[in-house]
Amino acid sequence: MKKIGILGSTGSIGTQTLEIVRQNRDLKVLALAAGSNVRKMEEQIREFAPEAAVMWEEASARELRIRTADTNTRILCGMEGLLEIAVMEGIEILVTAVVGMIGIRPTIAAIEAGKTIALANKETLVTAGHLIMPLAAEKGVSILPVDSEHSAIFQSMHGENRQRVSKILLTASGGPFRGKKKEELSDMTVEDALNHPNWSMGKKVTVDSASLVNKGLEVIEARWLFDMEPENIQVVVHPQSIIHSMVEYADGGIMAQLGSPDMKLPIQYALFYPDRRPLEGKRVDFFELARLTFEKPDTDTFQGLSMAYEAIGKGGSMPTVYNAANEKAVALFLEKKIRFPEIYELIRGAMEHHKIVPSPSLSEILEAERFAHEYIDARRR
């Protein structure tokens, strides 16, 4: 029996992880954590009977305690609750699928406690990769990527000499606005941005896909996960989303991982690595597919990618500002308070006004996040 905890259990990755638990009786959920979705968390508690469940908001935790008083699940709250389940005795794998930088501290705590990390929280490595990866190496902890692209890279490197990797080819669908020009973006609505052609994801990640910020975050994450210089990470637009990413080796050979666009595959691979369990779902039919196509990303229109390369090039606290400004800007866009192109304007402004901290501590990372949020608040007054 493999025992797991899930941070972000009511979101897209969390609910799909629980689908895998339903199909694999040798997985046991010991802890769950979510933001404010009390109804869904109550359903999960009654189905999976975890020892503990965390709600980010105190009001949600109070309501959940009342609604689940007849169960044996302890209801915890906030960052203290996340940290408690991150180090909970018995948990072997912690799935970190929360959105945003709140995932950093629980991930660090889990690594220090010797837990394997199934990582679906990009922000953890984007902002604190220089802290996380050395700590994982020191503690002998595996960080198994759950993002489809990073899982594909990980799988394409399996059994190979990583010293012979010459390039990572990170694929991108192009998102819902692929083919649009800069002048068209002002007319794009929230509903347009959430209409992804291939993937079913949470709202924030889907908007990030539309802006190519998501791919920028993945470039930064790949830099830390696979110890690659940014210039050796190339983004390739692949509209069919069948090739999930590729690795080029010193001899020119390229390894790729292909499959239908279904997040359950990389989630299950991380949970059972290095085993490959049977998984229901659509298979790739190459006769039906007929062709795979590739394009260069339009970084003039979709500036999120070029700004990511700039952020990682400057290093230090700049990737944190890039990420935090985007989080704030996307939240404003989803609330219909700004237009889509203003996401780029707010990120650019925060980056231009930030004084870089060369090798930030955790507290300095959180301070850089505060700076980005406060900059955007001040700009919009």
The pLDDT value given to residue 2: 96
Q: Which residue has the higher pLDDT, 30 or 202?
A: 30
Q: Let me know whether 164 and 105 are in one domain.
A: no
Same domain, 164 and 304: yes
Same domain, 47 and 77: yes
The mean per-residue pLDDT over the stretch 350-364 comes to: 97
Residues 6 or more apart whose Cβ sits within 8 Å of residue 341: 182, 185, 186
Asked if the bond preceding 239 is cis, omega within 30° of 0, the reply is no
> What does the pLDDT look like over 277-331, one tens digit per residue?
999 988 999 999 889 999 999 999 999 999 999 999 999 999 999 999 999 999 9
Same domain, 176 and 88: no
One domain for residues 159 and 298: yes
| 215 and 134 in a common domain | no
- Specify the pLDDT at position 199: 63
Q: pLDDT at residue 93 above 80?
A: yes
8 Å CB contact between 214 and 205: yes
| 180 within domain boundaries | yes
Cα 21 from Cα 13, distance rounded (Å)? 12
CA 209/CA 200 separation, integer angstroms: 11
Q: Are strands 116-119 and 27-34 parallel, antiparallel or unpaired?
A: unpaired
What residues form DSSP beta bridges with 69?
Answer: none
93 and 141, same domain (yes or no):
yes
Query: Rounded to whole angstroms, what are the CA distances from 133 to 163, 276, 330, 345?
Result: 18, 26, 28, 31
For residues 309 and 191, membership in a common domain is answered with: yes
Of the two residues 117 and 182, the one the predictor is more confident about is 117
In this predicted structure, what is the pLDDT of residue 351?
98
Amino acid making up residue 81? G
Same domain, 84 and 165: no
| 65 in the same domain as 199 | no
- What's the pLDDT score for residue 221? 97
Half-sphere exposure for 303 (CA within 13 Å, toward CB): 14
The pLDDT of 160-186, averaged and rounded, is 93
The CATH number of the domain where 114 resides is what?
3.40.50.720
Give residue 196's pLDDT: 76
pTM value surpassing 0.75: yes
The residue range of the domain holding 85 is 2-145
Question: Tens of pLDDT along 193-233?
Answer: 888 776 666 788 889 989 999 999 999 999 999 999 999 99
pLDDT > 70: percent of the chain? 99
In a domain, 49, yes or no: yes
pLDDT grade for 165, boundaries at 50, 70 and 90: very high
Residue 293 lies in a domain: yes
The structure tokens 């400057």 sit at 314
State residue 273's pLDDT score: 96
Instruction: Read off the pLDDT of each residue in 335-341 and give the average, rounded to a whole number.
Output: 95
- 121-137 pLDDT, tens digit each: 989 999 999 999 999 99
**Residues β-bridged to residue 93:** 4, 116
Q: Identify whether 178 is part of a domain.
A: yes
* Residue listed under structure tokens 């954590």: 33
Q: Is the pLDDT confidence value at 381 over 90?
A: no
Q: What is the pLDDT of residue 290?
A: 86
* C-alpha–C-alpha distance, residues 349 and 331, integer Å: 17
Same domain, 202 and 307: yes
In a domain, 294, yes or no: yes
Of the residues 145, 173, 202, the one at which a domain ends = 145
Same domain, 198 and 124: no
At 3-15, the pLDDT tens digits run 999 999 999 999 9
Other CB atoms within 10 A of residue 161 CB: 9
Report which of 146, 243, 148, 262 is spatially closest to residue 198, judged by C-alpha positions. Answer: 262
3-state secondary structure at position 283:
coil
pLDDT in tens, 146-163: 999 999 999 999 999 999
Residues comprising the chain, all counted = 381
Least confident of 50-59, 187-196, 340-349: 187-196
233-237 sheet: strands from edge to edge: 233-237, 165-172, 243-249, 254-258
> Does 137 map to a domain?
yes
Mean pLDDT of 339-348: 96
Residue 317 contacts residue 174 (beta carbons within 8 Å): no
Please say whether the dihedral angle defined by the alpha carbons of residues 98, 102, 104 and 107, taken in this order, is positive or negative. negative
Q: Which of 314, 330, 357 is the last residue of a domain?
A: 314
For residue 205, the one-letter residue type is V
Token duo for residue 159: 């059994």
pLDDT, residue 257, reads 97
Tell how far CA 103 is from the center of its chain. Answer: 10
| Cβ–Cβ < 8 Å for 156, 180 | no
Q: Is residue 339 part of a domain?
A: no
3-state DSSP call for residue 285? coil
Among residues 97, 124, 145, the one where a domain terminates is: 145
169 inside domain: yes
In the prediction, which pLDDT does 345 show? 96
- Strand order across the 52-55 sheet: 74-77, 52-55, 27-34, 2-7, 93-96, 116-119, 143-145
Count of domains for the chain: 2
